[in-house]
Amino acid sequence: MAAAKIINAKSLKFLEKYLNNASPTGYEWEGQKIWMEYLKPYVDEFITDTYGTAVAVINPKAKYKVVIEGHSDEISWYVNYITDNGLLYVIRNGGSDHQIAPSKWVNIHTKKGIVKGVFGWPAIHTRDRAKEESPKVENIFIDIGAKDKAEVEKMGVHVGCVITYPDEFHILNKDKFVCRALDNRMGGFMIAEVARLLYENKKKLPFGLYVTNSVQEEIGLRGAEMITQTIKPNVAIVTDVCHDTTTPMIDKKKEGETSIGSGPVVSYAPAVQNKLRERILETAEAKKIPFQRLAASRFTGTDTDAFAYSNGGVASALISLPLRYMHTTVETVHKDDVENVIRLIYETLLTIKEGETFSYFD
């Protein structure tokens, strides 16, 4: 399959709609509905679970099961404390970055709908430059224009309301996708495109394919932990994002060297099953798909770990999309990498035979 034109006008429209919809950890279901609606023509059935993970299944009756997976949730904040004069203090829901908060608009999700707010910050004129305080979770606050706590509550805002950023999808210099929540809405998009291509190219797989969009990755891989027990797969290929380490203030000696535009990133880690990883690399070389390598040490920090160490051990591997500015509202990826991750997953699936164990002892 050629690299060109994987992403078409319809899939780009889906990506924009999918990204612009808020899907904070624990509140992913509206995004899942958008994802399922797009996938409906290309799959046989859907599985959903109590906490909102969605799985699109091809060949549901097959005994041998292969998962391709991304996660659907995005980082956010919770309202934690409301002051007497109507300001809101927050706690994290996932790995939200306190440093980017000041002067950002926010959407507070309430039963009455979205309430707008801003992260305030003391003006430069009022700060002591000799001992400037930097933003941290304890001192960032949201102003919703309320005069006191009673007005906050009248507006429908209470402790526990979830808070997201309203930033939407943009294309930078023709081939860079920029948005909040590319981590890991891009994963859900890429696995959906794999399913679409299998359908459009009339590929018949000798196994059941479980296209899995897990919830709650950002707070500890929880959605994947739940759904792997339901599916009980034989193989799992996970896709998430990793860092472009070529931008300023990142130490390559610590983080390794990976960059946007240089291809999918294949991880080395104890959770990554070596024979499956080598199959992916051999496929990339055979199909002339560029790739990069990343060493992840004790764990990958992705849903790969949840699948690998479940059900007595599931052959699992990780194909990552390099991304700039992770957990900001301007996460940035290269369109070429997106298409090449899709290609690499697609082509790898076509090499997997029913009943393969990937055992080191066969």
Q: What is the CATH number of the domain that holds 152?
A: 2.40.30.40
Residue with tokens 């294949």: 266
pLDDT band at 185 (very low <50, low <70, confident <90, very high): very high
Residue 347 to residue 208: CA distance in whole angstroms: 16
State which residues form the domain around 247.
Answer: 9-74+180-350
Same domain, 206 and 127: no
Domain assignment present for 305: yes
Same domain, 116 and 188: no
**Single residue among 131, 164, 197 that ends a domain in this structure:** 164
Question: Over 80: is that where the pLDDT of 4 sits?
Answer: no
For residue 73, the model assigns a pLDDT of: 97
Domain assignment present for 361: no
Question: Over 80: is that where the pLDDT of 2 sits?
Answer: no
Domain assignment present for 173: no
Question: Over 70: is that where the pLDDT of 321 sits?
Answer: yes
Both tokens of 152, joined, read 């906050």
Same domain, 152 and 244: no
User: Residue 284: phi, psi to the nearest 5?
Assistant: -60, -45
Contact between 318 and 293 under an 8 Å Cβ cutoff? The reply is no
Quick: pLDDT tens for 142-162: 999 999 999 999 999 999 999
Number of separate domains in the chain: 2
Same domain, 42 and 186: yes
Where do the DSSP E strands lie in 223-291?
A: 235-243, 265-268
Q: What share of the chain is helix, strand, coil (3-state, %, to 5)?
A: 30, 25, 45
Question: Over 90: is that where the pLDDT of 3 sits?
Answer: no
Same domain, 235 and 140: no
Same domain, 197 and 306: yes
Question: Over 90: is that where the pLDDT of 297 sits?
Answer: no
Same domain, 69 and 135: no
Percentage of the chain lying above the pLDDT 90 cut = 97
Both tokens of 356, joined, read 């393969």
Residue 329 to residue 189: CA distance in whole angstroms: 18
Residue with tokens 């526990």: 160
Domain assignment present for 1: no
Question: Over 60: is that where the pLDDT of 66 sits?
Answer: yes
Containing 223, the helix (H) or strand (E) segment is helix 222-231
Q: Which residues are annotated as a binding site for Zn(2+)?
A: 71, 183, 218, 240, 327
Same domain, 65 and 83: no
Domain assignment present for 39: yes
What are the distances in angstroms from CA 106 to CA 20, 164, 247, 281, 329?
14, 6, 27, 42, 11
Quick: pLDDT tens for 237-263: 999 999 999 999 999 999 999 999 999
Same domain, 159 and 41: no
Average pLDDT rounded to a whole number, residues 25-31: 98
For residue 51, the model assigns a pLDDT of: 98
Domain assignment present for 21: yes
pLDDT band at 1 (very low <50, low <70, confident <90, very high): low
Cis geometry, peptide bond prior to residue 184 (ω within 30 degrees of 0): yes
Average pLDDT taken over every residue of the chain = 97
Same domain, 124 and 209: no
Quick: pLDDT tens for 200-221: 999 999 999 999 999 999 999 9
Both tokens of 306, joined, read 């949840």
Domain assignment present for 128: yes
Same domain, 64 and 200: yes
**Single residue among 164, 190, 219 that ends a domain in this structure:** 164
Domain assignment present for 54: yes
In this prediction the pTM is 0.97
Where do the DSSP E strands lie in 196-263?
A: 208-214, 235-243
Contact between 339 and 5 under an 8 Å Cβ cutoff? The reply is no
Contact between 38 and 16 under an 8 Å Cβ cutoff? The reply is no
pLDDT band at 18 (very low <50, low <70, confident <90, very high): very high
For residue 5, the model assigns a pLDDT of: 83
By annotation, the residues acting in catalysis are 217
- CATH number of the domain at 44, please: 3.40.630.10
**Single residue among 113, 138, 164 that ends a domain in this structure:** 164
Same domain, 60 and 113: no
String of DSSP letters for 11-31: HHHHHHHHHHS--BTT--HHH
